[in-house]
Chains A and B, each alone.
Chain A
Amino acid sequence: NEWMFLFSLVCSGEIFELKAELNSDKKEKKKEAVKKVIASMTVGKDVSALFPDVVNCMQTDNLELKKLVYLYLMNYAKSQPDMAIMAVNTFVKDCEDPNPLIRALAVRTMGCIRVDKITEYLCEPLRKCLKDEDPYVRKTAAVCVAKLHDINAQLVEDQGFLDTLKDLISDSNPMVVANAVAALSEIAESHPNSNLLDLNPQTINKLLTALNECTEWGQIFILDCLANYTPRDDRESQSICERVTPRLSHANSAVVLSAVKVLMKFMEMLPKDLDYYGTLLKKLAPPLVTLLSAEPELQYVALRNINLIVQRRPEIMKHEMKVFFVKYNDPIYVKLEKLDIMIRLASQANIAQVLAELKEYATEVDVDFVRKAVRAIGRCAIKVEQSAERCVSTLLDLIQTKVNYVVQEAIVVIKDIFRKYPNKYESVIATLCENLDSLDEPEARAAMIWIVGEYAERIDNADELLESFLEGFHDESTQVQLQLLTAIVKLFLKKPTETQELVQQVLSLATQDSDNPDLRDRGYIYWRLLSTDPVAAKEVVLAEKPLISEETDLIEPTLLEELICHIGTLASVYHKPPSAFVEGSRGVQHKRLPCSAGSVDSPETSSTAGVSDAPPAVIPSQGDLLGDLLNLDLTPTTTGPPPPAVSTGMQLGAMDLLGGGLDSLCDTLVCDLQIGAGFGAAPAAMPASFGAPGSGGLDDLFDLGSGVGMPMGAYSPPKSVWLQAMKAKGLEISGTFARRAGVIQMEMTLTNKAMSVMTDFAIQFNRNSFGLSPAGPLQVLTPLSPNQSIEVALPLNTSGPVMKMDPLNNLQVAVKNNIDVFYFSCQYPISMLFVEDGKMERQIFLATWKDIPNENESQFQIKDCHLNAVSNKLQGSNIFTIAKRTVDGQDMLYLSVKLTNGIWVLAELRIQAGNPNYTPCICCYSAVIKNITPSF
């Protein structure tokens, strides 16, 4: 064993001997010595002391020896930077060697020597190698540019290497093209704003040509690069797809997945009624299926990606259920992924088959797999209603096996089935209760307790059952304690006479003997509810629960879109955006799927666009609760959410309020900005979405837009008629809103157009998005005679009850006088809610900006806008400029706004320098909840 032998030599302290050998005149001896050095380097011995001696061997015509010396250099140059300079001359010389292999070796190695001092010397050799006659040298040099850029980006830019690299995309040799593309992509990835990969139809064409000729790896580089391109229209998109589809037949799985990525992305742009669209869909399934016969690790990557593809385009794999059936010798990670995809593909058509499979799996030996299989049966029941009954009976069969973990999993999923289909399967409760004693996992115990509490009226000995849990109350996990508390309160409300003692016991356990704040809080809430108003308690605790969502495990749509753009990569394996696990990628723009060229034919399309009208399809179930509450009609709500949701649900609800309303908020903001900037844009110039009925009344704002030069101070629209005399028995109200000295005011003109005197005015607001309510009574002291008008200013505060309105800034008002009560609704400018202390600290702004989740971002374009004086005018409206900078000829303003309810809105205003009369701006709105004021 040569290696061990060499190693033992070094170990026995023969480093001096090595030194002598390295300086020997005999070539063969020298080479053996270097080999020994490398051998000890390989086992982790520090042989850096031999640096000068090894570098002395560098000048040799023996290629093998040279390679070994280079290897040594790569390892130790960093620790001996001064001595590494000694090697520079040889590198420069080797870059001119007649043998291309040596030229390439030199340029490849010097890029790996990460020593600043050396890099400067390497520019000239690199420049030559980039223009070398031999493609082998050129392709190596192309990669070297990326290496150098990693060490010293500025140097690479100054030396113009980036342009040379771009030129190499047009090289005649496909390998050179592929490496140039790889190097450029790598550089572009670390410098997202560099606009390096300026892809246009000409370069795309070159890439597609090279795609047919380069190695499998080169094809991957090119495909991954293509995936970043956004075609101009559906025709270009189709022609690229046509040229990429042959790659689906490549033997290398990675080529196939990269091709799938390009196709999945560009497919977005194809109209769905196009024949080609259907053809493409059909072409995607077979290669994806074949990936499942690759090596297990590749299968795993493929399955994680198929999971995404199935969610985005279920039609592709809908007939391929069988290929996901688990084989007994699949590794566990493959089994679990297959199971997950099976559930996603489950439908009424194939549910029988799926269930039969799942039942098989539930009798396997692998505990984790069995658990997941049992859960999967529950998911089937919830997903495919027709199968629910079958699923329940399958679960009951499994419970009969008495295998502990199977029973526990089954009970957890049966709880969900009860939630989904109330009053249907309760007959099985008796069977479940039999297994009470065998439950030792918190989740299963909590589920069982929930069932007992929820159906207390049907279970004769519910009190005994719950009492049995109570004995070891303090040893239970929080989940079980909370559930037990709620269940006993439910039981008490259903059977008050027999269970008074029990409920007192649990309340005192929860409030007095527990140091868990959640438990105590919930205990106190129940206690007070029960002692003050048992009827209300009933309404709260026994309120009807919203249905559980069918697919809570679906990936949120914007994330899904981003992940589709990352098919084949780690992001697609983790199902997380790259920003979640790659350092320094926070500022990097999230990838998006392109918009469909077709019109708005599906909700899918609208969700691909930056601005979405539809609320996200998947709402976390807790958020649902409050979302529902907030969406309630004008009728007063009597039922509250069930207690478990209160603490967390509130915040989510608030988020939802903003999420859904963000668009309208943004619309309004944009208008304010326009007006602030003193520019009258014709309404026609506005993006179509602004004309949406939601932002009615905005037109009025535009009319005034040309009224330019608003003095310092908040903008206030002119008065408009809110209540017509005809509809209000002669009372006409016109009005507007203003923010004066930090106080929001509703300024109205009341006109009596009736024949008789009006007295006893009063005003009231319905609940609204920002909790606006009158700060005092309506001050109309004198009776209003016929044909008389009066100006009233009503100060408002924002401490009223909150309810999400649509549009967000809608306000419903009731005005009463001696004749009748009149209702009208009006819309207030959001800018009125911008508080004076809305200037965010620079640091905080920076940090917050980075943390804003992608889905909270929107972009708008404003036409005709000047930067000059914008910021001053904005400040008058409490829109504060935090920073100003100029990048690539674009002026950027960073703005912050704080709303009365503590929501911060951060914005970026980008203004392209150039034609001052027509300068498009892009505003980027991001909302983040800094704190929730008590009004929420």
Chain B
Amino acid sequence: MAVCIAVIAKENYPLYIRSVPTQNELKFHYTVHTSLDVVEEKISAVGKAMADQRELYLGLLYPTEDYKVYGYVTNSKVKFVIVVDSSNTSLRDNEIRSMFRKLHNSFTDVMCNPFYNPGDTIQSKAFDGMVSAMMVQAS
């Protein structure tokens, strides 16, 4: 399960970032922030080839000593980043994909809210609850 989940706007600022409370939050901010370099690189690399039928899932962005960072980009260039613990080897690529899909669906719900202003930070409780379900339960 994830230790940090972030939603990043098209303009590359965070719309939502949440990490397991036991850890240093700032560290994840740095991790997600730097992962954007890779995301951008991947988007630009793919964008040249096929803009239309792009795979939304970007796969592993980069591994660090302790974490693996996965990325996902919607067609509107909103990025999702999931950070998982490196030690968690049981996690398959498919599970990561399904997490992203769930995240995307929930994000779509947020965007459908007429009271949500696109570009604002996400404060939806439903979204928060869904993210919580995907996070590692602090034990």
Q: Do chains A and B stick together as partners?
A: no
B residues near A, CB below 8 A? none
